[in-house]
Amino acid sequence: MKKTTLFQFFHWYYPDGGKLWPEVADKAEYLSTLGISHVWLPPAYKGASGGYSVGYDSYDLFDLGEFDQKGSVPTKYGDRAGLEHAAQCLQSHGLQVLFDAVLNHKLGADEKERVHVRRVEEHDRNDIDDSAFEALAYTRFVFPGRQGKYSEFVWDYRCFSGVDYIEDPNENGIFKIMNDFGEDGWNDDVDKENGNYDYLMGADIEFRNEAVNEELKFWGRWLLDSVPCDGFRLDAVKHIPAWFYSQWLDHLREHSGRELFTVAEYWSPEVSALQNYLHETENKLMLFDSVLHTKFHHASKSGSDYDLSTLFADTLVAIAPENTVTLVANHDTQPLQSLEAPVEPWFKPLAYALILLREQGVPCVFYPDLFGATYTDKGDDGEDYEIIMPVIPELEKLIEARQRFANGAQHDYFDTPQCVAFVRDGTEEAPGCVVVMTNGDVASKHVQLTEGLAGRRFYDFLGNHADVVTAGDDASAEFPVSAGSVSVWVLEQ
Query: What average pLDDT does range 34-39 have in this prediction?
Result: 98
Residue 339 has pLDDT above 90, yes or no: no
Residues 363, 409: Cα–Cα separation, whole Å: 18
Residue 409 CB partners (closer than 8 Å, separation 6+): 359, 424, 425
Answer for the pair 116, 170: CB distance below 8 angstroms, yes or no.
no
Span 30-56, mean pLDDT?
97
**pLDDT tens by residue, 314-335:** 999 999 999 999 999 999 888 7
DSSP letters for 167-196: BTTTEEEEEEEPSSS-TTSS-SSS--TTS-
CATH top-level class of 6-102+210-401:
alpha beta
pLDDT confidence of residue 299:
98
Among 184-193, 343-352, 357-366, where is mean pLDDT lowest? 184-193
**Secondary structure (3-state) at 347:** coil
Number of other residues whose CB lies within 10 A of the CB of residue 376: 10
Which residues line the annotated binding site for Ca(2+)? Answer: 104, 198, 204, 239
pLDDT tens for each residue of 260-273: 999 999 999 999 99
pLDDT for residue 1 is more than 90: no
Q: What is the DSSP letter of 259?
A: -
- Position 181 pLDDT exceeds 90: no
pLDDT of residue 264: 98
Q: How confident is the model at residue 487 (pLDDT cuts 50, 70, 90)?
A: very high
Pairwise CA distance, residues 438 & 45, whole Å? 44
Q: What are the tens digits of pLDDT across the range 3-15?
A: 999 999 999 999 9
pLDDT digits (tens, 9 = 90+) for 458-481: 999 999 998 999 999 999 999 999
> Rounded to whole angstroms, how far apart are CA atoms 112 and 142?
11
How far apart (Å, rounded) are the C-alpha atoms in residues 339 and 365?
18
C-alpha dist (Å) from residue 249 to 216, 220, 326: 11, 9, 22
How much is the average pLDDT of 292-313?
A: 98
How does residue 381 score in pLDDT terms, banded at 50, 70 and 90?
A: confident
**What residues does each domain of the chain span?**
6-102+210-401, 106-205, 407-491
Q: What share of the chain in percent tops pLDDT 90?
A: 92
The topology (CATH level 3) of 106-205 is Elongation Factor Tu (Ef-tu); domain 3 (2.40.30)
Rounded Cα–Cα distance for residues 221 and 252 (Å): 6
CA distances, 402 to each of 4, 395, 396 (Å): 10, 11, 10
**What confidence tens digit (pLDDT) does each residue in 231-263 have?**
999 999 999 999 999 999 999 999 999 999 999
Class of domain 407-491: mainly beta
Of 93-102, 223-232, 380-389, where does mean pLDDT reach its minimum? 380-389
Report the range of poorest mean pLDDT among 59-63, 262-266, 307-311, 371-375. 371-375
pLDDT beyond 80 at 378: no
Binding residues: 104, 198, 204, 239
Q: How confident is the model at residue 180 (pLDDT cuts 50, 70, 90)?
A: confident
Q: What 8-state DSSP symbol labels residue 458? A: E
- Mean pLDDT, the chain, rounded, equals 96
Q: Which residues are identified as catalytic?
A: 235, 265
